[in-house]
Amino acid sequence: MGRLIIASNRTATPGADRAGGLAVALSDALAERGGVWFGWSGDILERETRGVRLFVEDNTDFALADLTTQEYEGYYLGFANRALWPVFHYRVDLAHFDEQDFATYEDVNRRFGRLLAQLTRPDDIVWIHDYHFLLMGQEMRQSGWDGPMGFFLHIPFPPPEVFSALPQHQRLARGLCAHDLIGFQTARDTANFRRYLVDICAGEPVGEDCVRVFDRMVRLRAFPIGTDPDDIAALAAGTEGAQAAARLERVSASRALVIGVDRMDYSKGLPQRMAAFGRLLDDHAELHGKVSFLQIAPPSREAVDAYQALRVELDGLAGKINGDYADLDWVPIRYLARNYPRGALSGLYRLAQVGLVTPLHDGMNLVAKEFVAAQTLEDPGVLVLSELAGAAEQMQGAILVNPHDIAGTADAIHRALSMPVEERRERWAVLDAAIRAEDLSWWRLSFLKALETVREPVA
Ligand code: GDG
């Protein structure tokens, strides 16, 4: 069996403990068969450095490349996060299309693709991750790599009408089709890309999940990413989890707790969620002093304007709702714009009666799965989940909401808070079975299995 070569914008830190989640899954995959994990080092330099820095850890080689300031701005902040991220999350209104940013994105994908091609051996398999590297596979092909190559998109793939807003949509689609296998989070994303290839690029559907297009055969499939439920449950019961829960309980005095945990991103629907909680308080005076909403929202991508605007909006909304409703001994919204350790988060999920996960669009949303994993059968909390999160395809035991419907979301929170324990247990059992059936190991193993057999004839 050949080695596994993984490329992702950021890698785990060589030599450091893995913080859980995706980093652990990819480390496990590399540990099993040996290989290379390639990505950006996180360093930004004034002038370009050639080559990669190599760190060896057991049977994994980390190959890290630096970015120049100009590359960081054009590739990462510019095209990846000002054009691709908004368009793929259906927010063409927030997208900024800049030809120079695209040229830099292409250059970085080319430079990185060439570097990675040099590190491959003929019997390796290559797995590239996410929207930062849509063109890297094609660059590897042009550098001579012709072995099996898969790509996984962690974010949604929008309908063709939305994707086509990108001035370079054809170039990007052609680049993606240099892979043999393209994995998406959901059936909806897979169908969107397939429709784009068939309707816009004259692709010809072959068998159940293949398309012949741009003189190649490409396999498209959904591989919904999962979590590690046993790890989260252990963290929730562990010391750090219990301590975080005890700290909060001391001040919340057994009030019902609604929890949200999200990177501070406009795709996560945070203003709508705060408005829904405000609406709950408008409509239900009997809940005043009886329920608190804890929103943990570590800031991200703060150099991008839309993220700065979101921060200002959330500060204002939380302040307004608290100003309207807080009392001497009760704060309705605890809004914490900072990062907490995984163990603490798991303990807080377990403490909460309601998990509020209401993105406007999300590839999957792992917080929804982590919230479920942290619950216990005796007294499970209720998940209120956006029907526009990828996770909704699997998590039918949740109360599903349209996150734009503020009154509907407020009603769903109310319903969750008053749900009898029998119904909570029934729903949780359905959700727990779903997250265990397709957990994080299932995700990586099923993707790699599909990638290994990708060169076999299409049935
Ligand atoms: C992208 C896609 C897809 C959050 N706050 C803290 C913290 N987190 C952790 C959560 C969770 C992870 O970060 C966030 O994962 P999500 O899936 O919710 O969202 P994105 O970051 O947008 O990830 C998404 C994912 O890729 C995987 O394919 O599901 O749709 O957008 O694990 O727990 N972790 C710590 N402190 C925090 O304050 N330690």
Strand (E) positions, 46-105? 53-57, 60-68
Assess contact for 427 and 412: CB atoms under 8 A: no
Which range is most confident: 21-35, 39-53, 88-102? Answer: 88-102
How far is ligand 1, taken at its centre, from the CA of residue 147, in Å?
31
Q: How many CA atoms lie within 13 A of 311 on its CB side?
A: 15
pLDDT of the residue at 459: 63
What residues does ligand 1 touch, defined as CB less than 6 Å away?
Answer: 21-22, 154-155, 225, 261, 263, 296, 298, 339-342, 345, 362-367, 370
Q: Mutate which of 261, 307, 342 to test ligand 1's pocket (most atoms within 8 Å of Cβ)?
A: 261
What is the pTM for the complete model shown? 0.97
User: Which pair of tokens denotes residue 231?
Assistant: 């790890």
Of 154, 153, 158, residue with least CA distance to 195: 158
Output the average pLDDT for the chain. Answer: 95
**CA 315 – ligand 1 centroid, Å:** 21
Mean pLDDT of 236-263: 94
**Region for residue 257 given its phi and psi (left: phi exceeds 0; alpha: psi -120 to 50; beta: otherwise):** beta
Tell how far the Cα of 121 is from the centroid of ligand 1, in angstroms: 33
Nearest residue (by CA) to ligand 1, atom 6, is: 339
* 22 Cα to the center of ligand 1, angstroms: 9
Question: What is the rounded CA–CA span in Å between residue 364 and residue 366?
Answer: 6
Residue 235 Cα to ligand 1 midpoint, Å, equals 16
Pocket test for ligand 1, best of 88, 188, 367 (most atoms within 8 A of CB): 367
Which of ligand 1's atoms lies nearest the C-alpha of 20? 32
Nearest atom in ligand 1 to the alpha carbon of residue 339 is 38
Cα dihedral 201→205→210→216 (10° resolution)? -50
Pocket test of ligand 1: the residue of 131, 240, 263 to mutate, having most ligand atoms within 8 Å of its CB, is 263
Average pLDDT over residues 17-22: 74
Q: Are strands 181-184 and 149-152 parallel, antiparallel or unpaired?
A: parallel
Query: What is the Å distance from ligand 1's center to 211 Cα?
Result: 31
The contacts of residue 107 (CB under 8 Å, 6+ apart) are 71, 75
Output the residue whose Cα is nearest ligand 1's atom 26. 154
Name the residue with the closest Cα to ligand 1, atom 32. 366
Residue-level pLDDT at 20 = 67
Atom index in ligand 1 nearest the CA of residue 362 equals: 30
| Least reliable range by pLDDT among 161-165, 188-192, 254-258, 272-276 | 254-258
For the CA of 370, the nearest atom of ligand 1: 33
Of 99, 93, 41, 49, nearest to 74 (Cα)?
99
Burial class (CB in 10 A: 0-12, 13-18, 19+), 276: buried
Closest C-alpha to ligand 1, atom 33: 367
140 C-alpha vs ligand 1 centroid, how far in Å?
A: 29
The C-alpha atoms of residue 405 and residue 333 are separated, in whole angstroms, by: 20
Nearest CA to ligand 1 atom 4: 262
Whose Cα sits closest to atom 18 in ligand 1? 365
Ligand 1 pocket mutation pick from 223, 365, 388 by most atoms within 8 angstroms of CB: 365
Cα(9)–Cα(434) distance, integer angstroms: 29
Which has more confidence, 26 or 336? Answer: 336
Check whether 131 has a pLDDT greater than 90: yes
Q: Are 125 and 451 in contact (CB under 8 A)?
A: yes
Q: How, if at all, do strands 291-296 and 125-129 pair? A: unpaired
| Alpha carbon distance, N-terminus to C-terminus of the chain | 24
Task: Return phi, psi of residue 108, to 5°.
Answer: -65, -45
> pLDDT digit string (tens) for 393-449?
999 999 999 999 999 999 999 999 999 999 999 999 999 999 999 999 999 999 999
> Could you tell me the distance, in angstroms and rounded to a whole number, from the CA of residue 35 to the centre of ligand 1?
25
Residue 205, pLDDT score:
97
CA 96 – ligand 1 centroid, Å: 24
pLDDT of 458 above 80: no
Give residue 213's pLDDT band: very low, low, confident or very high (50, 70, 90). very high
DSSP annotation of 81 reads I
| 3-state SS, one letter per residue, for 327-356 | ECCECCEEEECCCCCHHHHHHHHHHCCEEE
What does the pLDDT read at residue 359?
98
State the catalytic residues. 154, 362
The lowest-confidence range among 52-56, 80-84, 167-171, 257-261 is: 52-56
Q: Which two structure tokens, joined as six digits, stand for 28?
A: 């496990």
Ligand 1 atom at shortest distance from the alpha carbon of 185: 28
Ligand 1 atom with the shortest distance to the CA of 21 = 32
The minimum-distance atom of ligand 1 relative to the CA of 298 is 38
Among 68, 130, 78, CA closest to 99 = 78
